Amino acid sequence: MPDVQKLLDDYLNYLEIEKNRSIKTRENYKRYLDAFINFSKIKTEKDISAEKVRDFRLHLARVETPKGENLKKTTQSYYIIALRNFLKYLIKRDFDVLSPDKIELPRIPGRQIEIIEYPDLERLLAAPNGSDLRSLRDKAILETLFSTGLRISELCSLNRRFDINRGELTVRGKGGKLRVVFLSERSKKAIKNYLDKRFDTEEALFISLTKSKKPKVIARIIPRTIQRIVDFYSRKAGITKKVHPHTIRHLFATDLLIGGADLRSVQELLGHASISTTQIYTHLTNKELREVHRAFHGRRRE
């Protein structure tokens, strides 16, 4: 009978090679499953019992972070999802183990998304108004984020060699899945202005710059720099809410839905594996639906 560490290694290899999950996903799953195995003193797959799972869940509910806070319900669910998927894998390989259906996921509150008003968005996009390389880069970044709804990691991975006039970009999203996103006329213009100012040979579309008066290219831009750029210009635009790069992704999705796009199309543009993930945006359009209801419902009764 193989020990559980050997089975875990096999499962992690399966995730990476056959399921085409990222190295980061593999690392996360290893951390979640190691935590369960070590806490529950699991030696073989037969040791995984409903009682040990309950004890581990109680442990997760009571454990404190370095800041002295309890783990969020969402974080707790990651551990349980990883364990359920591990058990599904073992069953697929004909091991007689605890049924994953007997492990319920923690109930978590509905995901709440905060967005900013459209006038705030326009001020944010207009905030980088200089003609220097840094301002032009930042303008292109903000316009591209809103035009495409890209995740921050996807934006950082873009290369500069593409047909900008066609206005299409192929990106590799979560799980290595390829999708096409589209550039608006404003984002194409912003990128052209920015690239016209570039004289380096770096293949990355967006690059990090030194802080000198005549900035030099360092390398491909990193997510932390994008976060700082968005935060800086949101404050410059006088926006009181905290704005993150993902906030602009949310605005991209809600703008499409309010404009009349169907949910399946928005799912494809965002690169969501499940439409249930995309549905979190529908409550944000309730205001628009309320106006439709008010304008058109019950008019024959007036």
User: Residue 124 pLDDT > 80, yes or no?
Assistant: yes
Q: Which residue in the list 26, 188, 250, 272 is annotated as catalytic? A: 272
284 confidence band (pLDDT: 50, 70, 90): low
Integer Cα distance of 153 and 192 in angstroms? 22
pLDDT at 296 over 90: no
Which of these is catalytic: 151, 194, 233, 250? 151
Q: Which two tokens stand for residue 98?
A: 């605890």
Q: What sign does the dihedral 191-195-201-207 (CA atoms) show? A: negative
User: Per-residue confidence at 286, pLDDT binned at 50, 70, 90?
Assistant: low
Per the annotation, the verdict on 111 as an active-site residue is no
Q: Which of 88, 160, 246, 283 is catalytic?
A: 246
Whether the per-residue pLDDT at 116 is higher than 80: the answer is yes
- DSSP labels, the chain: ---HHHHHHHHHHHHHHTS---HHHHHHHHHHHHHHHHHHT--SGGG--HHHHHHHHHHHHH-B-TTS-BPPHHHHHHHHHHHHHHHHHHHHTT-----GGGSPPPP-PPPP-----HHHHHHHHHS---SSHHHHHHHHHHHHHHHH---HHHHHT-BS-S-TTTTEEEEE-GGG-EEEEE--HHHHHHHHHHHHT--S---BSSEEE-SSSS--EEEE--HHHHHHHHHHHHHHTT--S---HHHHHHHHHHHHHHTT--HHHHHHHHT-SSHHHHGGGGGGGHHHHHHHHHHHTTGGG-
- CATH of 118-291, picked from 1.10.443.10, 1.10.645.10, 3.20.20.10, 3.30.2320.30, is 1.10.443.10
Kindly name the residue from 11, 194, 233, 281 that is annotated as catalytic: 281
Q: Please report, in angstroms and rounded to a whole number, the separation of the first and last CA atoms in the chain.
A: 76
Catalytic residue among 19, 30, 59, 174: 174
What's 4-102's CATH class? Answer: mainly alpha
Per-residue model confidence (pLDDT) at position 239? 92
Residue pLDDT, tens place only, 141-176: 999 999 999 999 999 999 999 999 999 999 988 877
pLDDT score for 148: 94
Q: What is the pLDDT of residues 170-220, one digit of tens each?
A: 998 887 788 999 999 999 999 999 999 999 999 999 999 988 777 788 889
Task: Decide if 235 is catalytic.
Answer: no
Mean pLDDT of 115-125: 90
For the chain, residues classed under CATH 1.10.150 are 4-102
Q: What percent of the chain has pLDDT over 90?
A: 57
Give the pLDDT of residue 285. Answer: 60
Ranges of CATH 1.10.443.10 domains, the chain: 118-291
Q: Residue 19 — very low, low, confident or very high, per pLDDT cuts 50/70/90?
A: confident
Average pLDDT of the residues in 254-265? 84
Q: Is 174 a catalytic residue?
A: yes
Q: Is residue 281 flagged as an active site residue?
A: yes
Q: How confident is the model at residue 301 (pLDDT cuts 50, 70, 90)?
A: very low
Does residue 194 have an active-site annotation? no
The stretch 63-71 carries a mean pLDDT of 81
Q: Average pLDDT, whole number, for the chain?
A: 87
Q: Is 293 a catalytic residue?
A: no
Which of 21, 26, 139, 249 is labelled catalytic? Answer: 249
Residue 289 has pLDDT above 70, yes or no: no
What mean pLDDT comes out for the span 234-238? Answer: 95
